[in-house]
Amino acid sequence: MRRIRHLSPEAAVLVRYSSAAALDRAVLEEAGAAVLVSDIATWWGDWSLVDAELECYETALRLVDPDHVVLVSGQDYPITDLRAWEQQVAQRGADAMLALHDPDPVTVDNRWRIVRGPALPGPVHRAAVAVAWRITLAARGRLYLNDSPKRADHRWWIGVPRRGERRPVRKASQWKVLSRHAVEVLLQHYRQDPQERAFFASCKVPDELYVASTLTAAGVDVVAAPTTFAHFPEDGSSPEYLTREHVREAVAAGSPFARKLHPDADPEVLAALDAAAGR
């Protein structure tokens, strides 16, 4: 956070963390952050992440009054001159700069719900996953049983074919840039369209679908422009910790941020990140 403040001293920084997290609010405020201590318990891949994201935007409008909001994770690190980049964002004039991807039809064309199972020893869990995949294959699209890629939360996704309503869907990373107008449109839909919320809440990993889809359907100017670089291992659901090679790749990609930074990052990695920003 201090690095962001150094590279963009005029920008306001809002730090959101769970009320269950062991962070020192006084330290954050002393470093110049506005703080949102949230009672929303978030879980990977479910609607709670949408609730948390929209809570951040609502708080930013109330506390900061921004022209644009930039949403990054707590493990992101700036790799460009942020003040110059902010000027480029303003000059570009787009309302939403997103890392867009093609959605997997399975995540949208089925209604998903999440159930929490018991903690299982590794061999038992692997056996359960194998059985779930056999059931899914045998069902031939009539039933999906997927385990969570986050082993520690002991959750399973159950999907069945969706009947009735269909909506156009776009997929994008949760880390993004939105104009104030885009934020206001998003909050209006979030507050006033329960059917839209219910549809996306029944999709798999809705935090990657709701914002891009809602803004596109509302006619907001959405452009493809990733906010952060991350290196994912093959078939991996979580990015690798940054190395010097990753930093070089991130700079070549042109994103203003890179993740994920190890809590005890190698000083050489930090030096490479700071050198990339040029200040």
CATH number at residue 255: 3.90.550
Instruction: Answer whether residue 117 shows pLDDT above 80.
Output: yes
Percent of the chain at pLDDT > 90 equals 82
DSSP state, 115? Answer: E
Same domain, 116 and 212: no
Show the domain range for 147.
Answer: 110-161
Determine the pLDDT at residue 166.
Answer: 85
Neighbours of 42 (CB within 10 A): 16
Determine the pLDDT at residue 247.
Answer: 96
Determine the pLDDT at residue 200.
Answer: 97
Determine the pLDDT at residue 153.
Answer: 78
Instruction: Answer whether residue 24 shows pLDDT above 90.
Output: no
Same domain, 148 and 37: no
Determine the pLDDT at residue 63.
Answer: 93
Instruction: Answer whether residue 214 shows pLDDT above 90.
Output: yes
Determine the pLDDT at residue 238.
Answer: 84
* Domain end position, chosen among 139, 161, 183: 161
Same domain, 60 and 3: yes
Phi, psi (degrees; rounded to nearest 5) at 18: -70, 145
Q: Which whole number is the average pLDDT over 244-260?
A: 96
Determine the pLDDT at residue 149.
Answer: 82
* Domain end position, chosen among 145, 161, 177: 161
Is the separation of the CB atoms in 231 and 259 below 8 Å? no
Q: What is the pTM of this model?
A: 0.92
Rounded to an integer, what distance in angstroms lies between the CA atom of residue 114 and that of residue 156? 6
* Domain end position, chosen among 161, 185, 202: 161
DSSP state, 144? Answer: E
Same domain, 195 and 143: no
Determine the pLDDT at residue 73.
Answer: 95
Confidence of residue 56 (pLDDT cuts 50, 70, 90): very high
Same domain, 61 and 197: yes
Where is pLDDT greater, at 139 or 64? Answer: 139
Instruction: Answer whether residue 181 shows pLDDT above 90.
Output: yes
Residue 70 identity: V
Same domain, 9 and 55: yes
Percent of the chain at pLDDT > 70 equals 99
pLDDT in tens, 30-52: 888 999 999 999 998 899 999 99
Determine the pLDDT at residue 279.
Answer: 62
Rounded to an integer, what distance in angstroms lies between the CA atom of residue 30 and that of residue 28? 5
Determine the pLDDT at residue 154.
Answer: 85
Same domain, 148 and 222: no
Where is pLDDT greater, at 234 or 147? Answer: 147
Same domain, 100 and 152: no
Same domain, 30 and 145: no
3-class DSSP string for 195-248: HHHHHHHCCCCHHHCHHHHHHHHCCCCEEECCCEECCCCCCCCCCCCCCHHHHH
Is the separation of the CB atoms in 269 and 250 below 8 Å? no
Same domain, 240 and 202: yes
Q: Give me the number of domains the chain comprises.
A: 2
Rounded to an integer, what distance in angstroms lies between the CA atom of residue 188 and that of residue 160? 30
Q: Which whole number is the average pLDDT over 203-224?
A: 97
Same domain, 70 and 186: yes
Same domain, 146 and 182: no
